[in-house]
A = this chain, B = another copy of it.
Amino acid sequence: MPALTFHIEATCPVTGARAGTLHTPHGPIPTPVFMPVGTQATVKGLTQRHLADDLNARIILGNTYHLYLRPGHESIDKLGGLHRFMNWDRAILTDSGGFQAFSLSQLTKINDDGVLFSSHLNGDRHLFTPESTVDTQLALGSDIAMVLDECLPYPSSHEHSRVSMERTLRWAARGMDHFHRRMAESPRRQHRPDPLPQALFPIVQGSMYPDLRSECAQRLAALDAEGYAIGGLSVGEPRALSMEMTEATVPHLPVLRPRYVMGVGTPEELPEYVARGIDMMDCVMPSRNARNGCLFTSRGKLIIKNARYKEDPRPPDEACSCFTCSHYSRAYLRHLFLAGEILYSTLATLHNLSRYLDIMRAIRQAIVLGAFPKYLDSVRSQPVEDPS
């Protein structure tokens, strides 16, 4: 039984941007969608009520690496799965954990078996395989799970990138095989009495080589997965290159499946990816930048510590109707930031995520109205710097 159904409701004839609805076992998701990152079973600083009622987020992301290490996917499984554990009854996507195993750990060893790494918490050795990461994500119960892939640093040679891509393809096949076996088991292994169906997305790699990206996409498409991701972008390359890789990949992915670019992007990049046929994105940028004092507004970035906001009674963004902008001034947020108060992180994260989700809603509406090219023109001319 498939976990997802994806209806494309409108496609921009000029760009190929799509507006649709992705139906999951935990509710529908209007696309294109930006997914807030909830690394450790929490979107930092927000209650689940903020996420649902204030932001109307329909899907959030969890990080398998972190949850595997703490509190442990088996504990989460016993407690009824990640949705119940964190009291979130809308959709969840989990990554495979591979990216964090590479980037957060010391002593990572990679071979065809999988990824051997040391926990960043206590140094314990762990092995992620294409099969184990599927099992971990089945225990978490995410609506959308990701296959284990190898994410290369930038730059990498063509030769190395091909070798790595071949491994990613083998892992994808192993992960999918294992996933289908698990899905067919009855009863399933989870502790939950009636586990819901889950989906598994393979990930296109190929570093910054269009030929590898195209080939990888074509060969993964043969797996007939419920959706596809593009990984290995936003690893330090110029933005033009990220876009070029997306353009090399998308035409080779099945039209009727959702397409997810992992780990992007800035507010300005969101419509650019959508314009290249992307349906799903995630990034820590809105939440992390919020905590660091950078607010995204309709007039550009606002650096809240700046002295000019000391007695500024205006909301961060006068055009924004989020909870933060409806209730609090720049002066108050600046005070909370300088005083190191928790409430600052909450209010700033709420605003930045609201900004991202508003952008996605505006993009979707523009596509539905057939006005996406015009929308794209207008946002390309917007300022990105600190407003006065």
Contact = CB atoms under 8 A, between A and B. Distances in A.
B343 A47 contact: yes
Contact of A42 (B85, B311, B341): B341
A342 interface: yes
Interface in A62-89: 66, 70-71, 75, 78-80, 85-87
Given A87-B332, A339-B70, A346-B346, A311 B75 contact: yes
Interface stretch (A24-32, A200-208, A323-331): A323-331
A133 interface: no
Interface in A27-56: 40-42, 44-49
Interface string A2-30: 00000000000000000000000000000
Given A47-B347, A311-B79, A335 B40 contact: yes
Interface in A301-322: 310-311, 313
B332 A85 contact: yes
Given A71-B331, A331-B79, A342 B311 contact: no
B85 A346 contact: no
Given A70-B335, A310-B71, A328-B87, A343 B45 contact: yes
Given A48-B327, A332-B87, A343-B47, A338 B70 contact: yes
Given A79-B313, A345-B342, A335 B41 contact: yes
Contacts of A47: 323, 343, 346-347
A346 B50 CA distance: 12
A336 interface: yes
Contacts of A311: 75, 78-79
A4 B332 CA distance: 28
Interface in A85-114: 85-87
B46 A343 contact: yes
Contacts of A45: 342-343, 346
Closest 4 CB pairs of A and B: A71-B335, A45-B342, A42-B343, A40-B339
Interface of A: 40-42, 44-49, 66, 70-71, 75, 78-80, 85-87, 310-311, 313, 323, 327-329, 331-332, 334-336, 338-339, 341-343, 345-347
26 contacts: A40-B339, A41-B335, A41-B336, A42-B336, A42-B343, A45-B346, A46-B343, A47-B346, A70-B335, A70-B339, A71-B331, A71-B338, A75-B310, A75-B311, A75-B331, A79-B311, A79-B313, A79-B329, A79-B331, A80-B313, A85-B329, A85-B331, A87-B327, A87-B332, A342-B342, A342-B345
